[in-house]
Structures are given as C-alpha cells and as structure tokens.
Structure 1
Amino acid sequence: MTIKQITDHIEAFAPLPYAEDFDNVGLLVGNAHADCTGVLVSLDTLEAVVDEAIEKACNLIVSFHPIIFSGLKKITGKTYVERVVLKAIRNDIAIYAIHTALDNSFEGVNARICDVLGLSNKKVLIPQKATIKKLTTFVPVEHAEKLRQALFEAGAGNIGNYSHCSFNLEGDGTFKGEEGADPVYGKKGEVHTEKEVMVGVTYARHTESQVLQGLFKAHPYEEVAYEIHTLENTNQHIGIGMTGTFEAPMEETTFLDHVKSVFKTGCVRHSALRGKPVKKVAVLGGSGAFGIGNALAAGADAYITGDLKYHDFYKAEGKILLADPGHFETEQYTKELLVEHLRKKIPNFAIVLSVCNTNPVKYL
C-alpha cells in the first residue's frame, strides 16, 4: 500500500479543501507514491516522534499539527522544526498533517470533544461559507435519467439526510452545428430544436472534479452546456466548532469538575460563574477565542476552548461560562480519532498510536 492510498482515506474523512487558508496541510515531507511500512499517528511531529516512528518501523507519520507551518528558507538544524525535517528525510519518513481540515469535518475534532463530554444533538458552531455549489445542465429527454444517475454516483444531489436530489424542467433547446462540429442530433449547418431537460443538482465543493467527470462521461452531446454557481446556503456539515446538549442540566461547578476530569488537566481557567445550570455547550478544540460570539449567538450556556487571553474572559459578560482547559488538552483525543478511522478503513495494517506526550505546556 502506498502512502497516497493511506492519505486518501484520511482526505475522504476530512477533505483538504476545507482547511483554513492560513493552514499548511497534506503531505509535508516524503514521496506520496512510496510504499508504506506502517503509520504512526501523533498530535505533533517532534524529534521524539520521528524516533518512535523509526523504532516501530513506520515510514509515515500522520500528525494533527503541521510541523512546517510557514516557509523554510534554510534547513540547517538550528531549530526544532529544521531538526525534525532533517531527521525525517534522513530516515526516509514521510510526514502528513491534517489540522484544520479535521477541525472543519463534522465527525472530526469537535465531534470527538462532544462525545467525550457526553453531549448529544451535535451541530456545527461556525459553518464554513461557499462550500455548496450548484450545477445546471441541459440534456435530451431520453438521456436525462442516465445523466442524473451518473451525477448522483459522482457525489452530487446530497442535501442533509437526503440523497438523489435534483430539479428537472423540460423545454426546447436549440443549436446549429458550425464548421468542424459533429452533432449527435440534427444536421451540421442547420438550426435544430431538441426536447431537453434542464437538470439542477447541488454538490459539495471538494467533489467538483468528480462531478464534472461524471457529467462529461454520461452526457451525449459533443459540447456540453452547463453552469456552475456557488451558493450562499449554510452547510451544517462543514465548519469549525460544535454545539451539543447534556441529557440533564449540570450545575456550574459540577460542569467545571467534569471538564477538568475529561480533559485530564489540573487547571481549568474560567469566567465568573453565572449561577445558572449548564445544558447547552459549545466547543472548539485548540485556540478558539474567535468563537465566543458564535457560542453566544448559538445560545450556549458554556463554551469550552483553549488559549483564552485575559481580556477574552470579559466577553462572557455574565451571559456564558467560558472554560479553558488548555490547547493540547482540547485536542488530545484527535490522534485516537484518526487511528480509529484508519484501522476501520485499513484493517490488518500497522496503524500505531504514538505514546509521546507532545504537550509543550507543563504545570506545577
């Protein structure tokens, strides 16, 4: 099995096009077409993680965070980033990062946080914009069904919990084949009128290439007429952060103790208690101060995230309980999530969970 075959399984779960613009995801070091001997899954890629990969005969490290975040002008070993890259190259180990692509996946980082907290009724907190596209095309009546099926098989026509969704309108299409044309219907040089169906389907942005391939393969015309538009509709299955609810309301101090226990930390920084129970909770793994307003707008009683600064806590304004158990702590379950997914997709292959604790923050 090649490295690309393995990373394809990850990208089906968390498509790279949905990573944030500032991020650096995908294969960072190595040859995608090389054979893979084993996969080591980690939250970060440090020298100790590369050593662990060598020890366990894994030539692919799947890391949540990218070790190369901005451009490297030199690789001399002066920084921890350069040393990791040098060691990986020297030992023929590939490094792959998924980061915010997994953050924006409906079954990704924040869904796992909801699961470990015991939250249900999960919904995306901040839906990503411009992720739904619409294809409109025109096809002879007798070919309409075949074309629709080809588009559905390519991934189009899925809306929420529904599939095979399309809109169809019959009408008359006209065309005239000019010099060099080879029309399937009508004669070259003559205006022809054909009974056609206007077929409209929506699709997820990352599936556009396969949807267009399906369109061109199934369409009978020499020149396929089609239109593509990006929709403003909210996509509730792609976005960062998540909300969920407890089965029964929880008293605030009990909630904070629960957060402390679940995230295995000795310290949970929080805003002032409101004196109200916690039922609906918003979560965002990693640095999520930017989501405070979204959590308030969602009507959450509490918001769990990492890296809150001094003035961020003022934004609670007595309307929400902010809880910060730490950056690493809110993302620690990510590597287990990736291991579970890969083992399900590639059974009987060496998928190894890293035992390295890569948290750079220590507590006294």
Structure 2
Amino acid sequence: MSAVSVDETISSLHNQCGSQNFHYSYDLRGYEDMNEKASRPKDITRQVNDRLFPMIPDKDKEDIIWVHATLQGYPSTGKTKMLEYLYLEALTRYGEENINLIWTNDPSIAFSRINSRPVQLMMIDDAARCANSLNMLNREDIDVATMFQQLRHQYEKVSGNKYGVIICIFSWQRRTELRKTYRQGYIQFFKSAGAEKDERDWLIYNFGEAWYNRLRIITDKIQCGDSRYKSLSIGYLPTLGKDLGGVGFYHSKLVHVPQWPDKMLVKEDLETDDAPDELPSSEDPSAPSAEELKAHATWYAETDELSRYAQFYQLYYLEKVPKSVIANRFGVKIRTVELGIKNYREALLYELYSNNQ
C-alpha cells in the first residue's frame, strides 16, 4: 500500500464528507451540511499543541499552569501510541530533564507521584478502569477527584515551587464511562465516532454534522485495517466550540520514543514493588553510626552529584522518608536513590577515616 500524504488524507476526507458523492442518512444530514462551502477542512494541530504544552512560567511569576486534556476512542484506535507521540512533543518543547512523566491507569497513582520537576506530565490511560462513572459515590474515588481539583496546590506543597506546568491527559473508550470530573477537559481528542445514540447526539451537537461524519470515516478506516488513520483525530476546544473554530483535524505520528516507559504503572505492580521499601531501623547493623551521622552534619559535599546524594542520605536515614518517596520527589528510579546513598556513604566514611589518621 503506497503512502498517502497528510494533504491527500485531508482532501480525501473532505471530498467524502463534503461532496454529493457521500450520502448522509436523513437523521444526520441537515441545513448546515447542505450549505457548507467546499473549503479545506480546518487543521488545529498547532493551535492544540500550543494550548496543551504552554511555556514554563518564569520563577518570579509565581504561576502554576494546569492543563486538562482528554482522549477518547475505541480499542485499537491508537490512543496509547498517540500518548507516546504527545510525550515526544513534550520532550521537544521542554527537555527530558524538566519532565516528570507518569503513565498509569489510576489517577491516585498519578497524583501521588508529583515531584519537583517544572513539568508534571500525567497520562492516565484506560482511565475508566479506576475512575469509572459507576463508582462516582465511592468515598475513595471522591477523595481522589477532590485531589485532582487541587493539583496546583499539591504540586506547590510537594515541590516547593511556585511556578510550573501540570498536564493531565485522560484516555478511555466511551464518553460516559469516565467520571464527569475527568472527562470535562478543555482540550479534547476523539479517535472514534459514538456507537450509541447519546454519544452520537453529543458529538453532533458539539461538532456539527460535517465534522461528525469525518470522524465516522476515520473510525471506519481504522476498523477496516488502515492503520495510517490512527495518526488522525478530531480535536475539540470546548471554549471555542464549532461556531468559533474549535473543531478540526489533529495530526499525530506513529512514533517510537526510547524514553517511553516499558510498562504502565498499575496498583497491583506497585504494591509488589514497594513492599521491600522499608524505613531504616536503628537495630540494623548496616545503619549509620553516631560518628558517621556527626560527620554527615559537618561535611561539605564538593560536587553537585554528591550534594544530591547527601540529600538522599539525609531524607532516608535522618528524616525516615521511604526510598520510593525520595525517588518520586527527585524524579529518579529507586535504584538511583539506593546507589546514591551507597556512594555518599563510601565518600563520607573515607573522609571520616582520613581525618582520624
């Protein structure tokens, strides 16, 4: 199958949806479509990306920007690959060192893993599994939803920063399955048309019939095995709506990003992984001696790397903070925290030994 350019794809969709060769059913075709001008359909990719990935505010601005986006589509429409592409877009704009990526299916996991990096990129994939609208009266779910509304304050509390960007993207299958709090994003992506009347009615009301029919064609092409259409979505900006140009094509790419996690964070795995992460005990023979702790209080770490390891040591041994929490706070792996503490202790003990000679 030969490659088709983006321009040809748009033109083909427009021809199918906007010309007399495409026959609407009577309950879909209306006055708006019958009088639609034969113009090029709107592409809002750049407009959406600028809203989704705002510039990091200056430190002196004391501004924490909160971005709420949603991605809806049937299974196998390329939602997870689109999240990977959006991560690539974030890497291009912010740099890996500034991003705390959290890819999970559980909002509570995402909200609890905030760290001090200036960009918190939370991607809650298959979100309806842990935030289903049927559980809206569950006490735990209510508490997590409340935390979602207070993420800016939570980030400020955890990181100590008064500036930054928090981006939350919820991905799931059918609109009404997700808790209403989470599905009301002000940037929305759609990769499939609704299968039930209430979904169809909602899409037609907000998109207009012409754009809804374009979405139907994208859905059909994917279902017929044409994976090229997985990189094409309908973007929707509710604040503008269809009347002010808030509906249009969004183009992503089917990419492989080396930094993308091998596995999504799920509660079952975390419970297993975090089990060995115990706080240090004073009865542990490997715990620091009083002499070592005294040396730590007075010794100056000469390099930035060693200074960071000193913070790991301080938090773990003196402030009794679990390694998983330290890793989350600094945006590193638990293994990095363990090696950092080990290297710092070796340097500290060498310094202590040298001074005693």
TM-score (norm 1): 0.24
Richer in helix (by share)? 2
Richer in strand (by share)? 1
TM-score (norm 2): 0.24
